[in-house]
Amino acid sequence: MNQFGLLRQRRFAPFFWTQFLGAFNDNVYKNALIILIAFELAQGGEGHLLINAAAGLFILPFFLFSATAGQLCDRAEKSALIRRIKLAEILIMLAAAAALLAKHTAALIGLLFLMGAQSSVFGPVKYAILPQQLRREELVGGNGLVEMGTFLAILLGTLLGGLLIAIPGWGTQAVAAAVVALATLGWLSSRGIPPAPAAAPELRLRFNIAAATWANLRHLGADRVQLATALGISWFWFYGATLLTQIPNFTRLSLGGNEQVVTLLLTAFSLGIGAGSLAVESLSRRRIVLWVTLLGGAGMVGFGLALPALVGLLPVGTELRGAAEFLRAGGGGVLAAVVLLGVSGGLYIVPLFALIQRRAVANHRARVIAGVNILNAAFMVGSAVLAGALLGSGASIPQLISAVALLTVLVLLGLALALQRQLGGLGVVPEDELA
C-alpha cells in the first residue's frame, strides 16, 4: 500500500483530517485578523505594531507551553488528549466569534495567544502519535502526507480568511461562522482516531516552565543525532519563515507584482512543498534515507540563489502587474524557481521528521518533539531578527534571500558531518540506529 492508501485507513485518516482542519482554521483566523487590523481596526500608524504583536503572541506559547505539552503527551493516552485539545479549540473559536462580531481588538489579539497555546499543546502529540499508528515502512509516507496537508491547509486557510473578511458588510460574520464550524469539524474528526496508549503513564508533570524547558532541551541534546536532526528541522522553519514573510514585499518591490502575484507565488511555494513531501516515499523506497534531505537542501541553496538572479531579467514597469501580465513579462522563471524551492523544502524536511520520530525512545518521544518545537520557535524569531537587521542596514529582499540560501550551505555541511560521524553514512539509516 502506498502513502495515499493511508487516507483510507482509520489508524491514519481521522488524525490527518484533524490536523489538517486545525492548521486550516488557525490560518483562516490569523489572516482575517491581520486584514481586519490593517484595514479597519487600527488607528493611524498602530496597524504595523498590532500586526507584529499578533505574530509574536502566536509564537510565544511555543516557548511557554511546549515543554509541559511534551510531558503531558508522553503521560496521556493520545487520542483522548487530541479530543480535549479540539474541544478547547471550539471554546476558543466561540470566544473569537463573539470578539469578531464586537470587533474588540484586544480580545481578538488575546485569543490569538490562546490559539497559539492550543497549537503548542497539539504539536508534540501530532508527531508522537504517528510512530504508534503507522508501521515502520509507512512512517516516511505518513510524514509526507502530514507535511503536504499542513502546507496546503496553511495556503487554503490564508486564502479563505482573506476572501471571507473582504465580503462587504458580512465579512466578520462569515469569518466567525467559519472558524467555529472548522473547529467543530476538527473535533468530530478527532473522535475517529483510535487509541494510542500513554508512553510514560507514571511521569510526574513539572509545571516550572524554565526547568521543564531546560530538561527537554538537555534530553534532546544528549543524543547527537537527535540534536543535529532537530537543528536541521529548525533551519527549515527559519528558511521558510524568512521566505513567506518577505514574499509580499518581494513581489511588490522586486517583481513589480500586485496581490494576484503574491497569491500565485504563495500557492506555488505551498504546492511545491506538498509535491516534494509526497515524492520522498518513492525516492527513499519507504525507508529513512538521508541523501534525500541533502538533495533537498542543495535545491534550497541553488533555487534560493536563482530566485534573486531571475529578478533582474524582468522588465521594469511603472504599474504593478497582475498574475497574467507577470507571466507574459517573463515571470515564468521566477514562478518555476519558487515551485522548485518548495519541492526542495519538502524533500529536505520529511526524512528529518521521520528520523527524529524513530530515533527518539518511545517513552520520551513527545518531549523530544516538544524540544524540537521550542527550537523551531526560536529559529523563527531568529529569522525575523536577521531580516530586520539586514533590511534595516540597507540590504534588499533579494540580497536577504541570497544570504539565507548561502547560510544553508553551512547548515548542510554541519548536518552532513554530524550524521555521517554518528551514523556511519548518509544513505539508508540502519535499523540498529533507531529506537
pLDDT at res. 358? 86
One domain for residues 318 and 393: yes
One domain for residues 218 and 199: no
One domain for residues 64 and 97: yes
One domain for residues 49 and 172: yes
pLDDT at res. 54? 73
One domain for residues 277 and 418: yes
One domain for residues 156 and 245: no
| Domain range enclosing 224 | 214-435
Q: Secondary structure of the chain in the HEC alphabet?
A: CCHHHHHHCCCCHHHHHHHHHHHHHHHHHHHHHHHHHHHHHCCCCHHHHHHHHHHHHHHHHHHHHHHHHHHHHHHCCHHHHHHHHHHHHHHHHHHHHHHHHHCCHHHHHHHHHHHHHHHHHHHHHHHHCHHHHCCHHHHHHHHHHHHHHHHHHHHHHHHHHHHHHCCCCCHHHHHHHHHHHHHHHHHHHHCCCCCCCCCCCCCCCCCCHHHHHHHHHHHHHHCHHHHHHHHHHHHHHHHHHHHHHHHHHHHHHHCCECHHHHHHHHHHHHHHHHHHHHHHHHHHCCCCEHHHHHHHHHHHHHHHHHHHHHHCCCCCCCCCECHHHHHHHHHHHHHHHHHHHHHHHHHHHHHHHHHHHHHCCHHHHHHHHHHHHHHHHHHHHHHHHHHHHHHHCCCCHHHHHHHHHHHHHHHHHHHHHHHHHHHCCCCECCHHHCC
Domain boundary among 140, 175, 205: 205
One domain for residues 233 and 289: yes
Provide the domain count of the chain. Answer: 2
One domain for residues 194 and 259: no
Domain boundary among 147, 173, 205: 205
One domain for residues 195 and 231: no
Q: Which residues of the chain have pLDDT under 70?
A: 1, 41-52, 317-318, 424-435
One domain for residues 119 and 260: no
Domain boundary among 182, 205, 228: 205
One domain for residues 223 and 349: yes
pLDDT at res. 45? 53
The CATH number linked to 408 is 1.20.1250.20
One domain for residues 129 and 231: no
